């Protein structure tokens, strides 16, 4: 057996010398150290070795085996052969890898803008309030003074979860963050912490609109509500102007256009001069609605409109982001093209 081992070692190492390709090396591995190779084939001979010689022969077997294995590894390293079927260029597996700086993720632009808006309103004394995205008609419509027959309630224009014809208070995905006005006033009255109430509420809203450059079936709004004694329209206007200047710069141009919302009286639309494309002139862009909270809304939340008054506003966060970062198409915000996400 010792002779056989010596021969295998000599022949094996000699054969390894003349190996030049990964394929040849693989053939050599199979022939010498593979599971059906020469080393394995001499192992059964151990049974015939006299007891007193087993130690010596066993030791030699291990020596030869590891000599061939380390010869193999050394050859593999010089050939750079990692695979048995490499016909392509050799890759030296022992070379240090290319140290790539891993691309770091970042906040989505909407998350960032939402944070920036909350930060500005926090400086103006607004706290953040939250409400559920799965809402009911009471909070999405009824208590916001939106009557039963109002077109905004049309099932075609809302994502109902329950059938409005079959359920008394059908659930729906909220179509506006104005729901959080109601929830916050209810909570303040129930727990006795307000009014005064001064909150903003950023969050997702859902409407089955056909998707185009300015519409999406899911988007974000930020709602504002300030209830106190003697709150007036001029408080609303100064708050909006301060916000616009803080976010878009001192030169920000804003305007209010008379409008109508069931939950405010008077109501207005809030526009800003914004260039949506970097090389185009600025134009008036509607950011959202606002107004003085309708007395019916206060009453629905058990707040006495003789004692308290307030203003409210609701802006589209995508609109604001598109204006601030000159994003021409709302779909870019949701397609998650990394080239876009890295630019904004
Ligand atoms: N909820 C309105 C919308 O989604 C926006 C809005 C208008 C909110 C006037 C307000 C408001 O708080 O006072 O179109």
Check if 269 has its Cβ closer than 6 Å to any atom of ligand 1: no
- Residues shown for the chain: 344
How does DSSP classify residue 125? Answer: T
Tokens representing 156 are 């075609």
Backbone angles phi, psi at 66, to 5 degrees: -75, -25
Binding site membership of 158 for ligand 1 (Cβ less than 6 Å): no
Q: Which residue has the CA at smallest separation from atom 8 of ligand 1?
A: 314
pLDDT per residue as tens digits for the range 68-127: 999 999 998 888 644 455 566 677 888 877 766 677 788 999 999 999 999 999 999 999
Please, are residues 201 and 223 in contact by the beta-carbon 8 Å criterion?
yes
Distance CA 57, CA 63 (A): 10
Rounded to whole angstroms, how far apart are CA atoms 136 and 268? 26
Burial 241-259 (b: 16+ CB within 10 A, else e): eebbebbbeeebebebeee
The phi and psi torsions of 135 (rounded to 5 degrees) equal -115, -175
Largest Cα–Cα distance in the chain?
112
Question: Counting atoms of ligand 1 from 1, which one is nearest the CA of 176?
Answer: 4
Number of H helices, E strands in the chain: 12, 9
Write down all domains in the chain, each with its CATH number in brackets: 2-79 (no CATH), 109-343 (3.30.930.10)
Helix boundaries (H) for 84-204: 109-123, 137-140, 179-191
Structure tokens at 247: 């976010």
Residues of the chain short of pLDDT 70, as ranges, are 80-89, 99-101
Which pLDDT score, from 0 to 100, does residue 116 have? 97
- pTM here is 0.72
Report the distance separating Cα 145 and Cα 141, nearest Å.
7
pLDDT at 88: 65
pLDDT of the residue at 77: 86
Judge if the beta carbon of residue 131 lies within 6 A of ligand 1: no
Q: Check if the beta carbon of residue 72 is closer than 8 Å to that of residue 31.
A: no
CA of 120 to the centre of ligand 1 (A): 19
Distance CA 177, CA 203 (A): 7
CB count within 10 Å of CB 66 equals 11
pLDDT at 344: 86
Q: How far is the CA of 221 from the centre of ligand 1 (A)?
A: 9
**What per-residue confidence (pLDDT) applies to 40?**
92
Could you give the CA distance from residue 96 to residue 99 in angstroms, rounded to a whole number? 8
């Amino acid at each position: 057996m010792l002779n056989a081992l010596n021969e295998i070692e000599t022949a094996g190492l000699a054969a390894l010398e003349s190996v030049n390709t990964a394929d040849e090396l693989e053939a050599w591995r199979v022939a010498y150290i593979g599971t059906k190779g020469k080393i394995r084939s001499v192992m059964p001979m151990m049974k015939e070795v006299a007891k007193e010689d087993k130690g010596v022969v066993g030791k030699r077997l291990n020596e030869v085996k590891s000599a061939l294995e380390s010869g193999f590894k050394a050859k593999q390293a010089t050939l750079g052969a990692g695979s048995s079927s490499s016909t392509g260029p050799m890759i030296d597996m022992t070379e240090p890898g290319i140290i790539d700086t891993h691309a770091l993720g970042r906040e989505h632009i909407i998350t960032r803008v939402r944070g920036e808006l909350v930060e500005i309103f926090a400086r103006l004394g607004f706290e953040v309030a939250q409400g559920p995205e799965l809402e009911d008609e009471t909070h999405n419509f009824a208590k916001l003074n939106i009557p039963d027959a109002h077109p905004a309630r049309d099932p075609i224009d809302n994502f109902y979860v329950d059938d409005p014809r079959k359920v008394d208070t059908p659930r729906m995905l909220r179509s506006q963050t104005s729901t959080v006005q109601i929830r916050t006033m209810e909570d303040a009255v129930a727990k006795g912490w307000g009014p005064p109430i001064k909150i903003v509420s950023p969050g997702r809203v859902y409407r089955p609109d056909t998707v185009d450059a300015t519409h999406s079936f899911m988007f974000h709004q930020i709602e504002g509500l300030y209830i106190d004694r003697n709150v007036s329209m001029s408080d609303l206007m100064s708050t909006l102007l301060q916000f616009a200047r803080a976010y878009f710069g001192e030169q920000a141009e804003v305007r209010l256009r008379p409008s109508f919302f069931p939950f405010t009286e008077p109501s207005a639309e809030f526009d800003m001069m914004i260039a949506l494309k970097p090389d185009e002139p600025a134009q008036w862009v509607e950011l959202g609605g606002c107004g003085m909270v309708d007395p019916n809304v206060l009453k629905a939340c058990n707040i006495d409109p003789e004692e308290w008054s307030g203003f409210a506003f609701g802006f589209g966060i995508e609109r604001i982001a598109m204006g601030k970062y000159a994003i021409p198409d709302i779909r870019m915000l949701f397609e998650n093209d990394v080239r876009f996400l890295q630019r904004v």
